[in-house]
Amino acid sequence: NELSASIKEVGVLQPIVVRKRPASQIAAAKAAKHDETESSTNPFAGHLDSPYELIMGERRWRASQLAGLETIPAIVKTTADDDMLRDALLENLHRVALNPLEEAAAYQQMIEEFGLTQVQLSKSVSKSRPQIANTLRLLNLPASVQKRVAAGVLSSGHARALLGLSDPEEMDKLASRIIAEGLSVRSTEEIVAMKIASGEQPKKPKTSKTNPWVGSAIQQSLENHFDTKVSIKGSTKHGRIEIVFSSPEDMDRILQLLVPSQGDADSKWV
C-alpha cells in the first residue's frame, strides 16, 4: 500500500508506542501457543507471547512488515496516564534533533492520537500555527522527494515550494534540478509559478476520496473557536462536523459555546 511504499523509501519517521506485558500474560500465552495445533483458534495465538504490546502506530507497524523491515523505532510506555505520555512525546520533540520530515510526522501523531488542534500544538512546541501547518504540508510530498528532505539534500523551504505542483513526477524532476543546479528557494518558487501560469502543470484530478475541507480556513476557524480538533467530512453540498472533547467538563465547555443561552452552571445536557 501507499504507506508501505513510503516507508520503503523514507523509513519510519515517527516511532510506534509500546508497553511491557505482564510476565503472567506472557507465560500464559507461551503455554497456550505450545499446546495449540495448526487449526487452533486459541485467543493467545499470534503475538501475545511478545514481551511488548502495541499501543500506538498499528498502521506504521503493519506497513513496516509489508515493507520487509525487521526493526523499527519504538518508545516504551512506562505510564498509564495518557497526558503524561503526550507530555513525554512533546518533550522528545524538544530534546531530539529531528529532520523536517520527522518533525512533521511527530506533529501529525500528536494531532491524530491525542486530538490536539494546530493551535494547541503550536503553544506546546512554542511555534506559530502557520509554522505547524507548513511543516505538516511536507507529508503531502511524494516519497522520492520526502527521502531527499530526510537526507538533508533538499531544504524544507524548497520542499514547500514544490507543493505548488500537483504532479508527483514534476515535483521529482524539479527536486533533482534544485540539487543539481543549486537553485535557491526563490528561484524554485518562480519556476513553479511559471509552470502553473503556462498551463504546463496539469490540474490535480478530483477523486471521491478528496476531502475539500481538510486544512481549509473554515476548519481552522472552527478549531480556533472551540479550541479543540474539528473534522469536517463530506462534500461542499452535504456532510457532517465532528468536534472532539476530552472530558465531561470539556464537553460542557463546547456545548456552552454552541448554545450560549444554556450556559447555566446547573444545566444538564444528558
In a domain, 17, yes or no: yes
Q: Structurally, how many domains does the chain consist of?
A: 3
How far apart CA 188 and CA 134 sit, in angstroms, is 17
Give the residue numbers annotated as catalytic, written as ranges: 58
Q: Are 263 and 248 in contact (CB under 8 A)?
A: no
Question: Could you tell me if residue 162 is inside a domain?
Answer: yes
Identify whether the C-beta of residue 20 lies closer than 8 Å to the C-beta of residue 74.
no
**113 in a structural domain:** no
Q: Determine if the pTM surpasses 0.85.
A: no
Domain membership of residue 19 as a residue range: 1-78
Same domain for 192 and 158, yes or no, is: yes
* 3, three cell numbers: 504507506
Question: Is residue 127 assigned to a domain?
Answer: no
Q: Quick check: is 212 in a domain?
A: no
Q: Are residues 148 and 176 in the same domain?
A: yes
Instruction: Look up residue 190 and give its amino acid.
Output: E
Same domain, 192 and 223: no
Q: What is the pLDDT along the chain (270 residues), one digit of tens a residue?
A: 677 888 888 888 878 888 787 777 666 666 666 555 444 444 334 455 578 878 777 788 888 988 899 899 888 877 666 666 666 666 666 666 778 888 888 888 888 777 788 888 888 788 888 888 889 999 889 989 998 998 889 999 999 999 889 899 999 999 999 999 999 999 999 999 998 888 766 555 444 456 777 777 788 778 778 877 788 888 777 888 888 876 777 788 888 888 876 545 454 555
Are 7 and 74 within one domain? yes
**Distance between CA atoms of 32 and 43, rounded to whole angstroms?**
9
